[in-house]
Chains A and B, each alone.
Chain A
Amino acid sequence: MYMFKYILKRLGLMIMTFLIIFLISFVLIKLLPIVVNVTIGQDKEIIEATLRARGYYDPIPVQLVNYIKRIFHGDFGVGVNLPEYRNKPVWDVFVEKLPPTVLINVYSTLFSVPLGIALGIFAALKKNRWQDHLISTGVMIFISVPSIVTAFLVQYIFCFKLNWFPLMMNSGFDYFSGSMFRSMMPAVIAMSFGSICGYARFTRAELTEVLTSDFMLLARTKGLTRGQATLHHALKNAMVPIFPSIVGEFVSVLSGSLIIEKIFSIPGVGGLYLDSINYQDYDFFMMLSCFYILIGLAASIVIDLSYGFIDPRIRMGAK
């Protein structure tokens, strides 16, 4: 019951925060002058008339009410300035762009979680020996190297020198074909580097702390082997903080990495967001901004709550 109340409270606060940001962003965007860029063969006046019909020149409070009403019908506006998506519903384009971003993040998580945790466990078990120093140094280096450089390295070494993968992601919609998977790999690898290091560092820190605690000594005293004790007692307890961080990371990377998407030219949400900024397509910008804000808020809540679910002793928000 306590947990339920706490979740409700957190959700309520989240919705409130979201609404305030939504309101501020909406007003600030609508205060900007509407930009209509036409390409050859298009009539500026017709586009402007369409926008007028949709109420883009109304007073802002009226627009706000209309916008919210439309959202409930799944209408987030239409593209205005993005040449590819002119007059296309924003929501449809968004749904079309979602799969590559989500897939790459899912692959990256599937790749980096086991590897990172395994490295972390190995380092913790070999604490202060050369294996640990090697892993810790590697982790420090790769956590510091920015994703731009990692992506360039992956592109140069794996795609160009070794010729394992294509330089860019394939276009098309057959997301589960073999060649598409192969073309996604560079981005997945580039994205995984940072996460692997993050998990390895976190796991190592947690596990070393658990390994030195009293109940581990007890486990050994009652006759368990080192392996049994580590597996059944240490790992289980170390997972308490690790698991929420995985969930949180997964939710927050759903929004993708703008840099990775740009370098590997992935037709995902990140690229769309950048385009909407550069072309000043405000409907896209508004919708995608809401998406990013929601993901960020959801990630923090999920992390917070999963502590409580995994270890009921932790009562979130208790005095």
Chain B
Amino acid sequence: MKPNEISVPKEKLVFASSEGRLHDKELVTKPISYFRDAWNRFKKNKASIAAAIVIAILGLYAIIAPIVSPYSVSYKDPYYVFTAPKIFGGTRNKSGNEATFLADYAISVETKRDVIVNNKYKSYVTEDAYKKKVKMYDYKIDTYYNVGVVYMNLTVDQYKDIQAYQDANDVQIIYPWTDMNKNKVQYGEIPPQVVTDGNIWYQLKMSNGKPVADVTYDSEGKPIYTDIYAPYSDKDGYTSKMRIEGEGNYQYSYATPVQNGNAYKVRIDYYNYYRYIHADERIDKPFFLFGTTNSGQDIFTCLASGARFSFILAITVASVNMFVGALYGAIEGYYGGKIDIIMERIVEILNAVPFMIVITLLKYHMEGTSHVLILFIAFFLTGWIGMAGRTRMQFYRFKNQEYVLAARTLGAKDARIMFKHIFPNSLGTLITSSVLVIPSMIFSETSLSYLGIINLNSGSLTSVGTLLANGQPYLVTYPHIILFPSIYICLLMLSFNLFGNGLRDAFNPSLRGAED
């Protein structure tokens, strides 16, 4: 038998049309709706899918970050200002003269934490502005540790509580008191830094009016400091077992009683104090993922809060404007004639008023109202114009088509023709343009708060524009303040534009590549 021969047994061979009539097969495929079709096209556009994912991530960040973050917008730390973002390791490159370097190094010697990252530094000799040779140091500094020790006034209860915490957790928060006179005895005067800077616990020498630490270096090149800790006094009220031993069990004093013994002035290690003060919160240690601002706000939280506001504003306004604009445009486009001319004139006039004028007049006429509300009203007042124009165009396109005439002949009312027959045809265009309007709205919200015309910075609310405006003076010195809000807004604009373009191509394949 040859392989391509088919053998059919005789009894199975029957005539097809022997019984009844032949029918076409019933269609088994499902009908594809307009939106299904658009979705199929949209799926193929990789850039738009990626953009949608980015938008979703940014949206999730805006929703989740303020909940997850232990900090709030109103949280302002007095010492952790300009802290470098932990996402980049929390360090910053620093270059300083010998006094600066030794001051930073002294912090790491006293608190036993690597203020100078890995204890690595590079020193070189260069000429200063007066052609004098100076020794300079390049090193990386850990911005979480270099706050070091600060002076603080504590009540007796606080003082006791910290000591109890010290004993329970085996950490040193309170460091020995310094005896300023030790500098005086040796050099004849108390250097002004010693009085204000808690980190000066070693002897200072004044030369040429510049402070230079009086230190010697050991064989490995590490500086050795001579401390100026105050000798033991029983008035310091210090009972904790955490003590730093001097040579030969020599004991130091830990505080100075102030206000007739009702309070103590103490040298506090701020890093450990921070852990102590936030012990009952969710904060284990200072951790600022995106760093802190000039006023010690956590950028991670502030940015998320600003982003959340932007999203809420943009989505609310876009949906309300879509509704209003569609209604206005539908009436314009459907009725045409005189109604169209009058309504179009109103739109033209409203459109010619710069947004800045609208917002300024609103702001001063509604003095005392929250700026959030003013922003919403201003967007509601003018935002629907573009949408109305697009709807009008769509209605002009469709209103004389045969199916509309057919519907009218069958007795459909105007409202039914408008919203049941014509409107669904323009829905794709409207959705696309309301998505494409969102980035420009977020941008104008950002610009307005950046320019200071709208002030959204109140209590638990802030905006991306405010963050940018606050960070601008520190662009050169602390660029991280501006970096994260900038990245956020760029990503948002880019992904909304890509997403919107993808939607347009999906809903309206004939417009692919056309500029709008």
- The A interface, classified by DSSP as helix, strand, loop or mixed, is helix
Given the known interface contacts A258-B451, A263-B472, the answer about A289 and B515 at a Cβ–Cβ threshold of 8 Å is no
A28 touches B365 (CB 8 A): yes
B486 touches A149 (CB 8 A): yes
Given the known interface contacts A17-B352, A258-B451, the answer about A201 and B515 at a Cβ–Cβ threshold of 8 Å is yes
Q: Mark B229-267, 1 if CB is under 8 A from A, else 0.
A: 000000000000000000000000000000000000000
A29 touches B361 (CB 8 A): yes
Given the known interface contacts A262-B451, A285-B360, the answer about A21 and B353 at a Cβ–Cβ threshold of 8 Å is yes
Q: Hey, which chain B residues are within 8 Å of A160, CB to CB?
A: 475-476
**Does B493 interact with chain A (Cβ within 8 Å)?**
yes
**Does A131 interact with chain B (Cβ within 8 Å)?**
no
Q: Hey, which chain B residues are within 8 Å of A262, CB to CB?
A: 450-451
Q: Mark B455-482, 1 if CB is under 8 A from A, else 0.
A: 0000000000100100010011001001
CA distance in complex: A277, B361 (Å): 9
Nearest CB in chain A: distance from B448 CB, A: 10
Q: Hey, which chain A residues are within 8 Å of B490, CB to CB?
A: 144-146, 149
Chain A contributes a number of interface residues (CB within 8 A of B) equal to: 41
Q: Hey, which chain A residues are within 8 Å of B465, CB to CB?
A: 148
B354 touches A292 (CB 8 A): yes
List the B residue with the shortest CB-CB distance to A206: B515
- For residues 12 through 64 of chain B, which have their beta carbon under 8 Å from a beta carbon of chain A? none
List the A residue with the shortest CB-CB distance to B364: A32
Q: Hey, which chain A residues are within 8 Å of B357, CB to CB?
A: 25, 289, 292-293
**Does A247 interact with chain B (Cβ within 8 Å)?**
no
Chain B contributes a number of interface residues (CB within 8 A of A) equal to: 36
Q: Hey, which chain A residues are within 8 Å of B356, CB to CB?
A: 258, 273, 277, 289, 292
Q: Mark A278-294, 1 if CB is under 8 A from B, else 0.
A: 10100001000100110
List the A residue with the shortest CB-CB distance to B491: A144
Contact with B514, one of A31, A140, A205, A259 (Cβ below 8 angstroms): A205
B475 touches A205 (CB 8 A): no
List the A residue with the shortest CB-CB distance to B486: A149
Q: Hey, which chain B residues are within 8 Å of A107, CB to CB?
A: none
B residues bordering A, Cβ < 8 Å? 348-349, 352-354, 356-357, 360-361, 364-365, 439, 443, 446-447, 450-453, 465, 468, 472, 475-476, 479, 482, 486, 489-490, 493-494, 497-498, 513-515
A residues bordering B, Cβ < 8 Å? 13, 17-18, 20-21, 25, 28-29, 31-32, 140-141, 143-146, 148-149, 152, 155-156, 160, 167, 201-202, 205, 258-259, 262-263, 273-274, 277-278, 280, 285, 289, 292-293, 296-297
Q: Please give 7 more A-B residue pairs, beta carbons under 8 A apart, in addition to A148-B450, A258-B356.
A: A13-B348, A31-B365, A32-B365, A146-B447, A146-B489, A259-B451, A280-B364
